[in-house]
Chain A
Amino acid sequence: MKDLIQQIEPLIPAFRRYARALLRNAELADDLVQDCLERIVSRWPQRRDADDTRQWAFAILHNLAIDVMRRRTRRGIHLALDELEEHEMAVPAQQEDRLRHADLMRALDALPQDQRAVVLLISIEDMSYADVARTLDIPIGTVMSRLSRGRERLQRVLDDGSIARVSTVQATPLRRMK
């Protein structure tokens, strides 16, 4: 168990980041990471030495995330997406940055889930294309086409954010209900 802690602990910040970028809800994301860690702990003895720990763990996280997202759509339970808090921004919030950040988040949310996963794992988690293919259990050609299509769609929004901005006031369902 000692090597488990040594190998898994440094990955937790990345798990949280990926989960939150994917689900866009901090609470749900941490629930997901907790489930993932529990699963990692219980499956650790069955892990093969040849497995790359990071990729193996991300595959567990991703599969759990898919379940959550599937349940979320199937049950029609709309959980609030996190609102854009100023403190969440890396850069101090200039109005322009804020809008750009909002556009980016909306564009990301609008991406088909499979493209979003690929774009995030590669752009943010620095995963190699081959590792992404293993993590998502898809051929590498599919990784490349999802990456290309996903980035293209994001780029369209970033290049012309002002158009997307018209629909900004979309409902953020549960949060409003104070």
Chain B
Amino acid sequence: MATDNHRHGAVLEDDLHAFVDELLTDDRRKEVQDYLDRHPDAAALVARLRSQRQTLRNAFAHIADEPVPSRLNVQNIVDGRHSSAESVRRWKIAAAITLALGLGSTGGWFARGAAESPVAGVSALSREAGANYATYAFDTERPVEIDGNHKAQLVSWVSTRLQRHVPVPDLAQAGYRLVGGRLVATEHGPAALFLYDDHQGTRLAVMVRKMTVQPDTPTMQRNEGPFDGYSWADKGLGYSLVGNDRPASLHSLADEVRRQARLSL
């Protein structure tokens, strides 16, 4: 084909791809077509590449036809930027107030903490979960930071901070839907807080944090003020389930959470 090549420029593999991808100029395409007519091997390769390309396109075509979720609406995102800038401003104001009010009492707070020397085990875990449940489960503004539709994001966030893979327990079978979750502070480091509600809006929370003391314990029932809770630890990861439901149903929910959590350990 020396003369051929000389006349047209050699047909290279790149040309075959570009032929399949319809990226050649008209002239070049004719030359390649001409070449393919005379080279059945190359023509067969081109046919396979074409079919592969079509298979790939078919496999993902439906995604572009799906309705775009509203969180991906550009207008909303443009609008959202203003409101998030606003919320940052509000947060700064709130922080400034807290700082002003709090500075005087900081010493006292630390002193009290030292005197009480909180137990770091499951009872502390339980108390911390109760406090977080009381704070967030009844919050009407922003009970969760990441909603239940962004489970992957939530898992990634809390797992990074806890340095442990913390999957979100699924309580759908028991009639509890994931509202969402957030990272919360405890006396013993960061914790993941997952909030759920049932069809009547009854909320329960599952809190997870690392356990340096009592890394493995059986499930224990605790009353945290008006709420019932069940807490336990497996392999250094402590769980506490707190809710407003009947203790018996909370207990079976706790068993279910524990069962699921063990599967991922």
Chain B residue with Cβ nearest A87: B62
Q: Does B78 contact A (CB under 8 A)?
A: yes
Contact yes or no, B56 A147, CB < 8 A: no
Once A16-B64, A154-B52, A177-B263 are accepted as A-B contacts, the answer to whether A5 and B78 lie under 8 Å apart by CB is yes
For B149, give the chain A residue with the smallest CB separation.
Answer: A27
Between-chain CB contacts (< 8 Å), 10 pairs: A5-B74, A13-B63, A16-B66, A20-B60, A25-B152, A33-B72, A41-B78, A77-B156, A124-B60, A158-B48
- Please tell me which one of the listed residues B56, B75, B150 contacts residue A119 in the complex, with CB atoms under 8 A apart: B56
On chain A, the residues within 8 Å of B62 by CB distance are 88-90
Residue on B nearest A105 in the bound complex, by CB: B59
* Residues of the B chain whose Cβ atoms lie less than 8 Å from the Cβ of A79: 152, 155-156
B54 closest partner in A (C-beta): A123
List chain A residues, Cβ under 8 A from B145: none
Whether A59 sits at the interface, judged by CB under 8 Å, is no
Cβ contact of A41, chosen from B74, B155, B165, cutoff 8 A: B74
Residue among B77, B150, B167 with the most chain A CB within 10 A?
B77
Residue of A nearest to B53 (CB): A123
A12 within 8 A of B: yes
Q: Are B56 and A104 in contact (CB under 8 A)?
A: yes
Mark interface residues in B125-139 (1 if CB within 8 Å of A CB, else 0): 000000000000000
Number of interface residues, chain A, beta carbon within 8 A = 56
Report the bound CA distance from A12 to B74 in whole Å.
9
User: How far is the CB of A74 from the nearest CB of chain B, in Å?
Assistant: 10
- Cβ–Cβ < 8 Å partners of B150 in chain A: 27, 31
Question: Could you tell me the distance between the alpha carbons of A37 and B174 in the complex, rounded to whole angstroms?
Answer: 37
Whether a CB of chain B sits under 8 angstroms from the CB of A169 is no
Q: How many A-B residue pairs have CB under 8 A?
A: 126
Question: Could you tell me which residues of chain B, from 100 to 139, have a CB within 8 Å of some CB in chain A?
Answer: none
Q: Decide yes or no whether B39 CB sits under 8 A from chain A.
A: no
CB of A30 within 8 A of CB of B59, answer: no
Verify if A128 is at the interface (C-beta below 8 Å from B): yes
A14 within 8 A of B: yes
Q: Quote the shortest CB–CB distance from A130 to chain B (angstroms).
A: 9
A166 at the interface (CB under 8 A from B): no
Flag whether A122 is at the interface (Cβ < 8 A). yes
Chain A residues with CB under 8 Å of chain B are 1, 4-5, 8-9, 12-14, 16-17, 20-21, 25, 27-28, 30-31, 33-34, 37-38, 41-42, 71, 75-77, 79, 88-91, 100-101, 104-105, 108, 119-120, 122-124, 126, 128-129, 144, 147-148, 151, 154-155, 158-159, 174, 177-178
Chain B residues touching A, majority SS? helix
A-chain residues with CB within 8 Å of residue B97 when the two chains form the complex: none
Q: Min CB distance, B163 to chain A, in Å?
A: 9
Q: Determine if A75 and B160 form an interchain contact, defined as CB atoms under 8 angstroms apart.
A: yes
- Going nearest first, the 8 A-B pairs with the smallest beta carbon separation are A13-B64, A17-B63, A90-B58, A123-B53, A123-B56, A28-B152, A27-B152, A17-B64
Whether, in the assembled complex, B151 has its beta carbon less than 8 Å from a beta carbon of chain A, the answer is yes
| With A90-B61, A120-B56 already in contact, 6 other A-B pairs whose C-beta atoms are closer than 8 Å | A17-B63, A17-B64, A27-B150, A31-B150, A75-B159, A88-B62
Known interface pairs A37-B74, A90-B59; A177-B17 also in contact (CB < 8 Å): no
